[in-house]
Amino acid sequence: MRKNKLYAPLFLFFLITAFNIANAQTKIGIRTGVNFSNANMKDEQGNKGETESIPGFHLGLTVDVPIAGDFYIQPAALYSSKGFRQKGEGFGYSDDFKVTVSYIEVPVNLLYNPKLGTGNLILGAGGYLGYGTGGKWKSASGVLIGDIQIGDNGEVIFKNDAEKGEFGSYLYGKPLDYGVSFLAGYELFNKYSIQFNSEIGLANLQTTYSGIKRKGKMKNTSFSISLGYKF
């Protein structure tokens, strides 16, 4: 997890920059909430992984930039935790394997924010770009790689090529992630909001090996609930 500390100053710099671009029409906000994330996986033989969602969290800044009428562009900078739990065998792990990873994400959504009742409806769609920074894995029993026992917990790493993996660390996949996003919610007093978000990963995070592309698939998915406040 030491590597995560290196990303903190960069993330802080990004947030400060976001504040500096604010003007009289732009609204800066904070957003936090809970994630329920999973991964769609297939091995090189086409066998589907038996995975389950795990809870996590997200935290960051949003910037609402008006376009016309009730339409806005909303970029954001979020620290988000994702991952999955595997039940059953089939990928070489134990029958209860959990991995939690951290991402720095930049979602950009087009928002429709019309008046509805005493507040405003929030509807949006767009895309996101994320970069994996690290994480942790743990297993109900020791994990074997070939005939070698590597223990029941350890660090998570991201690499583009599996040949550059680290012994005892779980290689989650390629660090760069991207996909589409959808959201719906409600805002009160032009300040407080609750919204439901969905992200569908389009990037195949399956790594190469010695530069050779491998079969198989690894894609992130998540659903989250957020509370927001606009300054």
What is the pLDDT at residue 26?
87
CB 139, CB 147: distance < 8 Å: no
Q: What is the distance between the alpha carbons of residues 139 and 133, in angstroms, rounded to a whole number?
A: 21
Q: Mapping DSSP to helix (H, G, I), strand (E, B) and coil, where does residue 11 land?
A: helix
Fold topology of 2-230: Porin (2.40.160)
Instruction: Return the closest-CA partner of residue 206 out of 7, 49, 1.
Output: 49
Pair of tokens at residue 84: 């999955």
Instruction: Return the closest-CA partner of residue 226 out of 167, 189, 182.
Output: 182
Tell me the pLDDT of the chain (231 aa) as tens digits. 555 555 666 666 665 555 555 454 789 999 999 999 999 988 887 778 788 999 999 999 999 999 999 999 999 999 999 999 987 654 555 668 899 999 999 999 999 999 999 999 999 999 999 999 999 998 887 766 555 667 788 899 999 998 888 877 888 999 999 999 999 999 999 999 999 999 999 999 999 988 888 888 999 999 999 999 999
What is the pLDDT at residue 153?
86
**Per-domain boundaries in the chain:** 2-230
228 membership: H or E segment, kind and range: strand 217-230
CB 203, CB 179: distance < 8 Å: yes
